[in-house]
Structure 1
Amino acid sequence: MANIVLTGFMGAGKSAVGRKLKELTGMEMVDTDDMIERDAGMAISEIFEKFGEGHFRELEKKAVEKASDLKDCIIVTGGGVVLKEENINNLRKNGKIIYLHAPAKVLYERIKDETHRPLLQVDDPLLKIKEMLLFRAPFYANNDFVIDTANMNVDEVADEVIKIIKK
């Protein structure tokens, strides 16, 4: 079976759906953000603070390269992984890319109380989400499948992913 690659903005449900898919399928799951934190020995928020987003994106590229070589795996990516075409090409080598979509307001409601999101440490996080979604829209469009998670729970999204993969 091809890798199941979950992309989408922060708050779209990638990690929760990945864990549910692992439970349902028995497939191994890797999270590129977890790989980065483990390899760097620090939290993503610390990487952003100490070294900036550019350095983080380079670490992310290396994590994607490693994850892309795996087989029969669920790969949960960070929200900005789509910004580098090289990442998408690597992920597509052994996998199907599924974009978990939700509108800005839904994403905001899901993540507004989380303090570990470095890109949202701004005065108006909802506006920032809207701006980032607009900028990333053409990148997120480079996927194999889209699931709108706005009105779905984790179980429903995972079931939809399984239906897609079985086609």
Structure 2
Amino acid sequence: MSKPHVFLVGPMGVGKSTIGRLLASELGLPFVDTDRVIEERTGADIPWIFDMEGEEGFRLRETNVLSDLCQMRAAVIATGGGIVTQEANIELMRNHGSVCYLRASLEQLAERTARDKKRPLLQVENPREKIAQILMEREPSYTSVANFTVNTDRHGPKAAVQEILQQLGRSRS
């Protein structure tokens, strides 16, 4: 297998971590969440990093973590929603694995993130509007980097995992 990793990309609240854990279990691979690795390495949570270093500082950390993970053994890697904002990250994912874009409707994303205070980009007066803006900006990158797309609106996490497994069978053969 020349591209061992499975990268999950998509907006915040789409289910990358939940689906990633289940998928890793099905594939017998370790699960890694890039945001958790950043927090472990810095000893600080994502909101604090955004406050202290801004989005630019956080994105640099994110690229460094992704680069390191690409050198490790095969894993299912859940990425932060903005990982596609950096061209270096897109190239890393394309070169080191299969990329699944997890997609959900604006309504679902707004509902799933409504009470989450740990998402720095949503600490604004109108989070739903912010999600819409982020989707509009990032959708082309999610689509272009992905080998395939799975819509999580219509699926529970287990059904999404089954669809990913089917897609991986097609994209890896």
TM-score range, shorter chain: over 0.9
**CA distances 1:63-120 after superposition (whole Å, capped 9, x unpaired):** 1101112232101100000011110111122201100001111101111111101000
Q: Runs of 5+ in structure 1 lacking a partner?
A: none
| Partner residue of 1:159 out of 158, 162, 170 | 162
How many Å separate the matches in 1 of 2:5 and 2:169? 12
Tell me the residue number matched to 1:150: 153
Q: 1:6-27 deviations in whole A, cap 9, x for unaligned?
A: 0000011100001101222211
Shift of residue 29, structure 1, vs aligned partner: 1.2
Q: In the aligned structure 1, how far is the partner of 2:100 from the partner of 2:115?
A: 26
Equivalent pairs, count:
167
Alignment partner of 1:126 out of 123, 128, 144? 128
SS of the residue corresponding to residue 132 of structure 2 reads: helix
Assess if the C-alpha contact under 8 Å between 1:21 and 1:158 holds in 2.
Answer: yes
Q: Percent identity?
A: 36
In structure 1, distance between residues paired with 2:90 and 2:138: 13
Show structure 2 runs of 5+ residues with no match.
none
- In 1, the alpha carbon distance for the partners of 2:55 and 2:39 equals 14
Establish whether residue 85 from structure 1 lines up as the match of residue 71 from structure 2.
Answer: no
Runs of 4+ in 1 over 2 A off after TM superposition: none
- Return the TM-score normalized by structure 2: 0.93
Aligned to 2:73, which of 67, 71, 74?
Answer: 71
Equivalents in 2 of 1:91, 1:3: separation in Å? 8
Partner AA of 2:111 in structure 1: E
In 1, the alpha carbon distance for the partners of 2:149 and 2:19 equals 14
Asked if the contact 1:30/1:76 (under 8 Å) is kept, the reply is yes
SS of 2:115's partner is: coil
- Deviates most, 88-97 or 112-121: 88-97
How far apart in 2 are the matches of 1:67 and 1:161? 21
Instruction: State how far apart, in whole Å, the 1-side matches of 2:79 and 2:68 are.
Output: 12
Number of the residue aligned with 1:3: 5
* One-letter amino acid matched to 1:146: T
**CA RMSD in angstroms, aligned pairs only:** 1.0
> Equivalent residue of 2:7, what SS?
strand
| CA distance, structure 2, for counterparts of residue 130 and residue 48 of structure 1 | 21
Whether contact under 8 Å (1:9, 1:101) holds in the other structure is yes
